[in-house]
Structure 1
Amino acid sequence: MSAAQSGRALASVRPSERQLGWQEMEFYGFIHFGMNTMTHREWGEGHEAPALFDPSDLDADQWVAALKSAGMTGVILTCKHHDGFCLWPSDVTGHSVASSPWRDGKGDVVAEVADAARRHGLKFGIYLSPWDRTEASYGSGTGYDDFYVAQLTELLTRYGPVFTVWLDGANGEGPNGKCQLYDWERYYAVVRAHQPDAVINVCGPDVRWCGNEAGETRPDEWSVVPRALQDAERTASRSQQADDGTFARLVRSDDRDLGSRAALAGHEDDLVWYPAEVNTSIRPGWFHHSAEDDQVRSVDELFTVYLRSVGGNSCFLLNVPPAADGRLRDADVDTLKRLGQRIADFRARRIEAAATVTSGTPGDIATAWPGRARTPWCPDDSDTRPAVTLAFAAPRRIEAVVLGEEITQGQRIEHVVVRGGHQGDRTTLAETNAVGYQRILTFPPALVDTVVVEITQSRDTPVVSRVAAIGTPS
């Protein structure tokens, strides 16, 4: 296969509508809450007394409002973790809120969070652990799959639209000492039947785990990868294996290149669109522990993760755990609010610019961000060094450039160089390989009157949806 043929093959892989909708969400939240919150554990043992679940002041509106203040677009709730306790009244087990004193046994945390999400304009997603340390049928094969599918169906049919089903890979022993061989394909079919617009994350075919839970990102994140990466069992083997908070800060350095042309050589006939999600917690653990109240991550650290994930062709999933009384702690709420202000300020510093291009027409790529262009820029096929120039009305000090591809046409850019011009001189500010949905390139502040973005290598004719220069804080 020639280089041109290889490039066209890679560029021909495209996202589904559900994947495109998910990518545009960019930043959303995780809520880990349940029996573990009451017992101060990360992993419950199973069979914990339902009477232990009795939050005195559960306020789902506070949770969702805090996430929204950070600029998030959705919320995922841990409807059932590995201990097996259900935050909704499931028809197939008594190990749920229906057996607890909370709301006199008539409560439904899932309903309260789903309703709060709708009130605040956020999308709602569910986490349902396949591992269940209470259910007697776990490890029995089809019998447990029937149980799990029944619970999954309840969650997918009772609470309105769901934007994601987040499937954990943890696979330990059940109460009978056996492990379950999960029937992933059956689970996926249930999701597709009841919520066809929902993406299935991590142990699923739509969105892949970035490979760690520390918020670390790859230098280049590619959405077009070998189909083998969709193997749920592979992900399960790399999931958390111990009941502690260290996994949320563990950084792996393997698998750094999943999708360059060299990495994909020989796989051109078996590729999928499988974009990455970066997930981490605002605290060391995923569930709330009062001993960690002084260990909430700083706004600076979280904003850096945001830039590298949302600005690295990934989405950012940030966990924020409520305390045992059912409320988020002030430190978490304050950090989220300040993070949202930081993100809003960054966006507000986009510099107005006139765009010119080496061929074709620029469309509205210079004014689209933080959205994507209605009329993307596609240079002529004969343009071997396509470039867009942003010209400012006066010299400005800038610290970042935002780029984005029109991913409905695939991921095509393989190398891009950004140069800044001032009084006739040009300096290289940044360069990168993968762009994809969005790439935010940061660099030391530079005084420039023009920014030139030159695409030096691509898999096919590039299609650009946004180019923006970000000024320094005033």
Structure 2
Amino acid sequence: MTTAAGTGRALAEVRPSGRQLTWQAMEFYGFVHFGMNTMTGREWGEGHDDPALFDPAGLDADQWVRALKSAGMTGVILTCKHHDGFCLWPSDVTSYSVASSPWRDGRGDVVAEVADAARRHGLRFGVYLSPWDRTEASYGSGTAYDDFYVAQLTELLTRYGPVFSVWLDGANGEGPNGKRQYYDWERYYAVVRESQPDAVISVCGPDVRWCGNEAGETRPDEWSVVPRALQDAERTADRSQQADDGAFARLVRSDDRDLGSRAALVGHEDDLVWYPAEVNTSIRPGWFHHPAEDTQVRSVDELFTIYLRSVGGNSCFLLNVPPAADGLVQDADVAVLGQLGRRIRDFRARRIEATATVSSGPEVDPAALPTVTLTFTRPYRIEAVVLGEDITRGQRIEHVVVRGHRDGRWTTLAEADSVGHQRILTFPPTEADTVRIEVTRSRDTPLLARTDAIEAAS
């Protein structure tokens, strides 16, 4: 086993903030892309569309939130303004908003309706505010646009109650001959910290790291302790979507597969941060609703697989569900979300009651592998083991092996490197009366807070 001394112990000393701990425990929450693009059939609107086009007569934020909650989500992030610049709230600094539309006779506020609905149904509320604005004349001017953006950010952070996430993407500029704004990220972060100190700043921010694709793909091992350079917002922006290209939503790159193993951290030991990952993707091919995609809603099997790999891979899962132009989430999406919620609840309900024994480790035998043994009252067909570290003390496990016992023989069921907040290890259903979890490498003494075996579905 790797020694706990020296570098390993230093790596284990990198710890999450309180806001990061709260965010990680949310595990699964929703994205809602809705706005002028919904009305025009675009993904990246060019701005300047007639506000009269925005009139979602049936808009029902409670229906949106009920659909998300049925899937087991704990929060919702709303695209309050996308790249086209149309604001879903009556902003004081632009007329390009719902206040200039016929919806609710110009007195509506989508942000308020979604924030209120989220509170009514017990979900937390977050905001997306695109830093790129294709309508605002000051875009590309430097400080003048930063002032404009900060004014809008302040409106969102002071008018709608507690915010759990401020989601900042890296979209920037209008092409080779277009305007380009150099965003004052540190200024934006300071505004968030002052107005909403409990909110995480995600993606182009210091608290939550983008997984690197929009397809729902996850790394084999996801680490929360990584080099500080990964927090560089401009680096993230350069790797984000650069054009209105639908193929990007399903693009998966093979680079950066290992961000935080001990080998990957060599040379960075003195400049590390806690920067956990979020996996984001859409329930449909596009981020905004398009009627032509009504038959292309992802299946419950595909979504549950993404859930197991993201929430079960030391990440959080952000799933986009776009309402249609009538202001409602469509029936196909609602149905799949309900199925997903039932699948997740069923998986959790199949946890097997077991007697857990720490059979080695520093309090028993410092020279032996730290091991937790789960003993069942009878043999079960098991299909997964769920592990979780006490991440308030850092991320420590570097390799774990799960073995099952039956008829006097031990069989290796699964193994992995990272665990973190939660690792769901799945395998073909196997009969076992005992499960043994062995930590073969770690950074300082491993601290498992969760060890559950899951019975196979009948």
TM-score greater than 0.5 by the shorter chain: yes
Question: What's 2:5 paired with?
Answer: 4
Residue 252 of structure 1 deviates from its aligned partner by: 1.0
- How many angstroms apart in 2 are the aligned matches of 1:270 and 1:72? 34
1:282-334 Cα shifts (integer Å, max 9, x gaps): 00000000000000000000000000000000000000000000001000000
TM-score by length of 2: 0.98
The code of the aligned residue for 1:470 comes to: I
Residue 382 of structure 1 deviates from its aligned partner by: 1.9
The code of the aligned residue for 1:247 comes to: F
Is 2:424 aligned against 1:440? yes
Residue 386 of structure 1 deviates from its aligned partner by: 0.6
Cα distance, 1:380–1:211 mapped onto 2, change above 3 Å: farther
Question: What's 1:399 paired with?
Answer: 383
Is 2:324 aligned against 1:311? no
Q: Secondary structure at the match of 2:343?
A: helix
Q: Any residues of structure 2 matched to 1:179-198 within 5 Å, and which? A: 179-198=180-199
- How many angstroms apart in 2 are the aligned matches of 1:380 and 1:285? 54
Question: What's 2:63 paired with?
Answer: 62
Q: Any residues of structure 2 matched to 1:184-263 within 5 Å, and which? A: 184-263=185-264
Residue 172 of structure 1 deviates from its aligned partner by: 1.5
1:3-46 Cα shifts (integer Å, max 9, x gaps): 72100110000000000000000000000000000000000001
- How many angstroms apart in 2 are the aligned matches of 1:9 and 1:391? 34
Question: What's 2:279 paired with?
Answer: 278
Question: What's 2:445 paired with?
Answer: 461
Cα distance, 1:473–1:85 mapped onto 2, change above 3 Å: same
1:170-219 Cα shifts (integer Å, max 9, x gaps): 10239x93110000000000000000000000000000000000000000
Residue 242 of structure 1 deviates from its aligned partner by: 2.0
Question: What's 2:393 paired with?
Answer: 409
The code of the aligned residue for 1:399 comes to: E
- Most deviating of 4-13 and 239-248: 239-248
- How many positions carry a matched residue from both structures? 455
Question: What's 1:19 paired with?
Answer: 20
Question: What's 1:109 paired with?
Answer: 110
Q: Unpaired segments of 5 or more residues in structure 1? A: 361-377
Residue 241 of structure 1 deviates from its aligned partner by: 1.6
8 A contact 1:26–1:314 mirrored in 2:
yes
Question: What's 2:78 paired with?
Answer: 77
8 A contact 1:406–1:463 mirrored in 2:
yes
8 A contact 2:360–2:369 mirrored in 1:
no
- How many angstroms apart in 2 are the aligned matches of 1:41 and 1:308? 30
Residue 359 of structure 1 deviates from its aligned partner by: 4.1
8 A contact 1:35–1:52 mirrored in 2:
yes
- How many angstroms apart in 1 are the aligned matches of 2:215 and 2:271? 30
Give the percent of matched residue pairs that are identical in Structure 1 and Structure 2: 82
The code of the aligned residue for 1:292 comes to: E
TM-align CA RMSD: 1.3
The code of the aligned residue for 2:447 comes to: V
Question: What's 1:33 paired with?
Answer: 34
Question: What's 1:166 paired with?
Answer: 167
Q: Secondary structure at the match of 1:112?
A: helix
- How many angstroms apart in 1 are the aligned matches of 2:363 and 2:40? 59
Residue 64 of structure 1 deviates from its aligned partner by: 0.3
The code of the aligned residue for 2:160 comes to: Y
Question: What's 1:373 paired with?
Answer: none
8 A contact 1:53–1:100 mirrored in 2:
yes
Residue 449 of structure 1 deviates from its aligned partner by: 0.1
The code of the aligned residue for 2:250 comes to: R
- Most deviating of 222-231 and 378-387: 378-387
The code of the aligned residue for 1:62 comes to: Q
8 A contact 2:78–2:111 mirrored in 1:
yes
Q: Secondary structure at the match of 2:112?
A: helix
TM-score by length of 1: 0.94
Q: Secondary structure at the match of 1:253?
A: coil
8 A contact 2:360–2:368 mirrored in 1:
no
